[in-house]
Amino acid sequence: MNRFVILLLTAVAALLVAMLPILLGPYYIRVLQTFFFFAGLGVAWNILGGYAGYWSFGHTVSIGIGAFTAAWLGLIFGAGSGPWSMILPVIAGALLSGLFALVIAYPLLRLRGTYFAIAMLGVSQVVAELVNNVSIFQGGIGVFLPSPVPSGMPVERFYYYIFAVVLSLLLLISWWVKRSRFGYALLAIREDEDTAMMLGVPTERYKMAAFVLSAVMVGLLGAIYGYSLGYFTTYSVFRLDWSLNMIVFCLIGGIGTLMGPVIGAALILFLTQVLLGGFLDLHLMITGALVVAVILVMPGGILRTRWRLPGRMPAREGAE
């Protein structure tokens, strides 16, 4: 029965997502497109940070690598236009980002806790500076990507649908990871890595797999984001604040849960883009205060908080 409810909800949500662009104006379609993108980033970060407990403070490095790889491929092969021209550069962006993660995984994943977080921050800064200052990478002057939007289709609608499909794909992967053997290994690593080893979990291998998978997901989003920009320089894609956003979405929604990052991203974006859109000078301050408040009141995030209706006794804790 529970399964049926979930299936029904998914179907309703899918229908809603498909229909919304017809009802909404371009601004709100763009807000939703950004929401899908950010939620996707949160879902990807959550695989490594939420499931395996390895908090990365530099995950935007994968957005940058994904976006620039797509653009370089376009420059070299003179990729044409039309939606199908995106496929190869986008896949290449995702894969190169995964390959980069594989290379840095060996030294970095020996670090734990804060050390890993800071090391990732360092990696993202170093890569950003390289892309910006080494002239063949063209990060300083910027790169162009041809528009893949089919003629006659509004741009915001095109990317709305693409990001919606990609977010669904990432959620599906995350769901599969969470309920698989792989997911169990990551949970054990998060809870206590030494004990996990003693219970037969090949921790090194699983950590690396989570790191690479997470990077591929972010790289995929980054490459598509690059297309949606059309023209971008280093700092449009290597954005430090986004590294933090991914973490905040997960913290607010419920770290290590499947839907937590999506809920967190929805809440933050609704606040910053819709409610506070008119108070641009204040919105960062209010957002910051809200993040602090949520973490103080609900340390496990929205999904991990035991909600109870007012006026009723807590269900299980009873016996007092």
Partner 1 sequence: MSDILLSGRGVTKKFRGLTAIDDVSFDIPHGAIYGLIGPNGAGKSTLFNLITGYHPLTSGSITFRGKVLGNMPIYRRNQLGLARAFQIAKPFPALTLAQNVRVGAMFGRPGDKNVERTTQEALDVTGIAHLAQRRAGELTVGDLRKLEIARAVATRPVLLLADEPCAGLNPTETEEMVRCLRAVRDAGTTVWLVEHDMKAVTNICDRIIVIDAGKKLAEGTPHEVVNNKEVIAAYLGTPVDDLPAHTP
Distance of closest approach, residue 313 Cβ to partner 1, in angstroms: 19
| Smallest distance from partner 1 to CB 258, Å | 15
Provide the minimum distance between the beta carbon of 45 and partner 1 in the complex, in angstroms, as a whole number: 19
- Which residues bind to partner 1, rule: CB under 8 A? 181, 184-185, 187-188, 191-192, 194-204
Chain centroid to CA 246: 6
Q: What angle do CA 53, 55, 56 make, to 5 degrees?
A: 145
- Residue 261, both tokens: 């990052």
> What Cα–Cα distance (Å) separates residue 98 from each residue in 94, 136, 176, 181?
6, 22, 19, 21
Q: Report how far apart the first and last C-alpha atoms of the chain are (Å, whole number).
A: 34
Q: Taking the complex as a whole, how short is the minimal distance between the CB of residue 188 and partner 1, in angstroms? A: 5
CB-nearer residue toward partner 1: 140 or 202: 202
Shortest distance (Å) from residue 204 CB to partner 1:
8
Q: Which is nearer to partner 1, 156 or 193 (CB)?
A: 193
CB atoms within 10 A of CB 40: 28
Nearer to partner 1, 129 or 191 (CB): 191
Amino acid present at 45: W
User: Between 78 and 314, whose beta carbon lies closer to partner 1?
Assistant: 314
Overall size of the chain counted in residues: 320
Give 150 or 299: the residue with its C-beta nearer to partner 1: 299
Name the residue nearer to partner 1 (CB basis): 194 or 241. Answer: 194
Q: How far is the CB of 187 from partner 1 (least distance, A)?
A: 6
**Got the DSSP string for 69-113?**
HHHHHHHHHT---SGGGGHHHHHHHHHHHHHHHHHHHHHHTTS-T
- Measured on CA atoms in the order 196, 200, 201, 202, is the torsion positive or negative? positive
Distances (CA, A) of 247 to 46, 47, 129, 174, 210: 8, 12, 23, 16, 16
